[in-house]
């Protein structure tokens, strides 16, 4: 994940489903922590300029898997289902 930029240097965050399937909250907190703790900008944390999420595990498919590899792949899709909209909703509620 790429968030914001600081003096033309982009900051990258990568999770890969270890901490959270869609670590939107973690990225927002890391962004805020950086500006407050490193930059000392307690009252002027800038908005995230860009947040890119790549969905590797779709929640819906147009076919039913017919072989072992397809079933395993589908199981991973279900396990790592994208919860981005939920995370964004919770983040907005918390920000309000």
Give the C-alpha separation, 91 to 96, whole Å: 9
pTM of the shown model:
0.48
The domains of the chain are located at 2-95
pLDDT recorded at residue 51: 79
Q: What are the C-alpha distances in Å from 58 to residues 34, 82, 88?
A: 31, 7, 18
Q: How confident is the model at residue 23 (pLDDT cuts 50, 70, 90)?
A: confident
Tens of pLDDT along 29-78?
Answer: 888 888 888 878 777 888 888 877 777 777 778 888 999 999 998 888 87
| pLDDT of 83 above 80 | no
| Among 54, 41, 56, residue whose Cα is nearest residue 6 | 41
């Amino acid at each position: 994940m790429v968030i914001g930029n600081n003096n033309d240097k982009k900051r990258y965050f990568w999770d890969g489903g270890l901490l959270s399937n869609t670590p939107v909250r973690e990225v927002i907190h890391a962004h805020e922590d950086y500006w407050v703790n490193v930059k000392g900008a307690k009252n002027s944390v800038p908005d995230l300029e860009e947040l890119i999420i790549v969905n590797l595990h779709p929640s819906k498919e147009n076919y039913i898997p017919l072989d072992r590899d397809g079933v395993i792949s589908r199981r991973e899709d279900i396990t790592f289902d994208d919860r981005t909209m939920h995370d964004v909703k919770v983040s907005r509620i918390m920000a309000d």
